């Protein structure tokens, strides 16, 4: 039996974690297990004031349980890769480990009033997006699809919390064992 593991760093909003767990179970149909992840201080880059997504991904690969179908990490920390100012998430394309940062999904990050519904909706879409990469999907030209590229929250808000028929069929065809 393979499990879909969802891990969270200590600071992660527990309500968001529960929503993500429910969303993953509903979308991919695999039994979900939770893991508590350590803090990400090791990945902190003082010069940028952000956390490197590459060392985080390396940690997830190290911690990935043997019975994991996929392993998704959640963090409240703002992530980056060296060449870009930030990333919403980072996944091994067609691999087992991915991480999603909740930091930039909150309205307050942009100096706006908090909005729980908007935040949870964005978190669900980003989780679907990074999980899609784990199943080997690349960005989809359909702007409504969860796999469409989003370089800002407006694009995340514009897409649906679902895969288009083509991407859904591709995930369906991916071996789950």
Partner 1 sequence: MAMKTHWKILVVDDEEVMAESLAAWLREDGYAVDTASSGRDAVEKAGQRDYAIYFVDLKMPGGMDGIETMMQLRRLQADASIIIITAYATVDTAITAMKEGAQEYIVKPCNPEEISLLVSRIIKVKNLQRENSILRKKLSRQYRFGDVISKSARMLDILKLSEEVASLRSTVLIQGESGTGKELIARAIHNSGDRAANPFVAVSCAALAETLLESELFGHEKGAFTGASQQRRGKFEMAEGGTIFLDEIGDISPKLQVDLLRVLQERCFYRVGGSEEVKVDVRVIAATHVNLQQAVADGKFRDDLFYRLNVIEINIPPLRERREDIPLLAGHFLERISHELGKDVSEISEGGLKVLLDHNWPGNVRELENAVERAMVTCRSRELTEDDFAFLAQNGQAAKTTWDPPPGMTIEQMEKLLIAATLQRTGGNIKEAAGVLGIDRSTLYEKIKRYEIPR
Nearer to partner 1, 36 or 85 (CB): 85
Q: Closest Cα to residue 60, out of 161, 146, 130?
A: 130
DSSP letter, residue 152: S
What distances in angstroms separate CA 60 from CA 5, 150, 175, one per listed residue? Answer: 11, 23, 21
Q: How far is the CB of 81 from partner 1 (least distance, A)?
A: 4
Per-residue string for binding with partner 1, 120-139, x by CB under 8 A? -------------x----xx
Q: Examine residue 165 and tell whether it contacts partner 1 (CB under 8 A).
A: no
37 backbone dihedrals φ, ψ, rounded to 5°? -100, 155
3-state secondary structure of 136: coil
Q: Which of 79, 91, 102, 146 binds partner 1 (CB under 8 A)?
A: 91
Rounded to an integer, what is the distance from CA 67 to the centroid of its chain? 20
Per-residue string for binding with partner 1, 32-61, x by CB under 8 A? ----------------x-----x-------
Chain residues binding partner 1 by CB under 8 A are 48, 54, 80-87, 90-91, 93, 133, 138-139, 141, 149, 151-152
């Amino acid at each position: 039996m393979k499990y879909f593991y969802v891990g969270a760093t200590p600071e992660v909003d527990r309500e968001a974690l529960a929503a993500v767990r429910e969303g993953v179970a509903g979308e991919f149909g695999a039994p979900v297990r939770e893991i508590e992840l350590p803090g990400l201080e090791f990945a902190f880059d003082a010069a940028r004031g952000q956390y490197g997504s590459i060392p985080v991904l390396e940690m997830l690969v190290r911690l990935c349980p043997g019975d994991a179908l996929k392993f998704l990490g959640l963090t409240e920390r703002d992530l980056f890769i060296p060449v870009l100012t930030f990333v919403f998430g980072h996944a091994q394309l067609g691999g087992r480990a991915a991480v999603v940062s909740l930091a930039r999904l909150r309205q307050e990050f942009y100096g706006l009033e908090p909005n729980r519904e908007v935040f949870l909706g964005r978190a669900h879409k980003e989780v679907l997006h990074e999980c899609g990469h784990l199943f080997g999907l690349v960005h989809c030209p359909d702007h409504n699809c969860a796999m469409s590229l989003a370089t800002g929250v407006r694009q995340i808000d514009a897409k649906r919390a679902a895969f288009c028929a083509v991407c859904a069929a591709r995930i369906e065809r991916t071996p789950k064992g």
